[in-house]
Amino acid sequence: MLGGYLNDLSNPALDDLPPALELDDPLISKVIAMAGDMVVCFGFCEADGPNRYNTALCVTGDGVLGRHRKVHQPPGERTIYAAGNEFAGFDTPVGRLGMMIDYDETFPEAARALAVDGADVIACLCAWPTSITNRAARMNEDRQSRLFDLYDRSRAAENQVVLVSSNLTGSIGGLRFLGQSKVVGPGGDIVARTWSKAGIAIAEVDVRAEIETARRVLHHLGERRPEVY
């Protein structure tokens, strides 16, 4: 996440906010140039007129492929960021992809909307902290640690897609971040992860083959009955 995150979700300091960048900012251009042949998703604080957005971009060296503005906001963010208003997939060299930003993942409808729009891969970019209250002594025993894994695995399995989830590590202000970046297959199995330390989760996945296998008998999207819900 370029420029970091809020230092407090209860009462964020207005004089210590992440820098707000427009899409043509030189720092954005530098990331695009560095991406080269890779498909890279990253987060930043986007400036658009008087508004700030918690935004994710997906890029290659050729430019921007997709943008997502965070839709669901915890209370502390609402005073700082405007909310996005859509979940949309887009085509990339590695297949059709959709993005969510941390709290978005808590809502099953977000990932489902992306899957219905054809996303084979969902990238979830997170600044997910440990519990604000009653924090466990050991990070892997914290309830937010368990929930973060549960949401990652559930959103992949529900929609039978590949989910890649990144998360901050370390601390900003009073927030301590979980890490636990991971790659999850369409059956909900974690195929690579970083645990709580900074690192890169690496997995070789044949996305289409894995999805076709997962949907061979039970096809969740095809067997939905939205007229009943």
pLDDT of residue 75: 84
User: Phi/psi at 188 (nearest 5 deg)?
Assistant: 90, 5
Phi, psi torsion values for 118, nearest 5 degrees = 95, 5
Q: Encode pLDDT of 94-141 as tens digits.
A: 999 999 999 999 999 999 999 999 999 999 999 999 998 888 888 888
Q: What is the pLDDT of residue 112?
A: 99
pLDDT at 38: 98
Q: Count CB atoms within 10 A of the CB of residue 120.
A: 22
Is 227's pLDDT higher than 90? yes
Over 90: is that where the pLDDT of 203 sits?
yes
> What pLDDT sits at residue 174?
84
Residue 39 has pLDDT above 90, yes or no: yes
pLDDT at 105: 98
What are the residues whose beta carbons fall under 8 Å from the beta carbon of 186, sequence distance 6 or more? 156, 157, 159, 160, 161, 162, 210, 211, 213, 214, 215
pTM: 0.95
Residues 174, 16 contacting (CB under 8 angstroms): no
Tokens standing for residue 134: 């009653």
- For 207-226, the pLDDT digits (tens) are 999 999 999 999 999 999 99
Is the confidence at residue 165, as pLDDT, over 90?
yes
In this predicted structure, the answer to whether residue 1 has a pLDDT above a threshold of 90 is no
- pLDDT at res. 63: 98
CA 127 to chain centre: 9
Confidence of residue 71 (pLDDT cuts 50, 70, 90): very high
Using the predicted structure, report yes or no on whether residue 47 has a pLDDT greater than 90.
Answer: yes
What pLDDT is attached to residue 133?
A: 83
Q: pLDDT band at 202, cuts 50/70/90?
A: very high
Structure-block tokens of residue 96: 């059709």
Taking the domains of the chain in order of start, what are their residue ranges? 20-214
Residue 7, pLDDT > 90, answer no
Q: What is the pLDDT of residue 138?
A: 87
State which CATH number among 3.30.428.10, 3.40.50.150, 3.60.110.10, 3.40.50.720 fits the domain covering 20-214: 3.60.110.10
